[in-house]
Amino acid sequence: MGRGIAQVFAYAGHDITIIDFKERNEQESLNLIREAKAEIKENLEFLESLDVISASDIEPIIDKIKGVSLGEAEYVLESADYIFEGVPEVLEAKKDAIKRASILASDRTIIASTTSTMLVTQLMEYSSRPENFLNAHFLNPAYLIPLVEVSPSEKTDQNHLKKFLALLESIGKSTVT
């Protein structure tokens, strides 16, 4: 799901960084990032075949997507405006990613879990800033389906929620809260 979300934001003109949040050696991380970009390129070529985009659009979109390993995550997360957590639907993996991301992120960063199976009230407990946390369930494939289900908790700051909804709408998404 993370790859599709990255594609949507890059297509809309945003600079994106995919973070390999799993402990692995540098070569494995590079391979993972290469695979992600290759999948996104295939998706864009599919859109080109449908005359949704032109061939000349593909490389500029791909160029908006960078990738880093876990060792570089701190530098990326501390300057991020938004973080979309997209680890597998395993509670321990979500817990770890949300805890680490909320510690490394600035106090203004909005963190969204892209889960489709876990409640925001459960996951917000792992964030050191629950007022900046919410769930954002993109439907698959994220680059085709416009709907995003956004689930704030009772602790989510309403201004952060409004800002987040505006971001999603600015990239062509329809939101349901």
Q: Tell me the catalytic residues.
A: 137
Position 44: which residue type?
A: L
Angle (CA) 7 67 25, round 5°? 135
DSSP 124: G
Nearest to 101 by CA among 114, 84, 120: 84
Place of tokens 């993370």: 2
Q: Is 152 left (phi over 0), alpha (psi -120 to 50) or beta?
A: beta
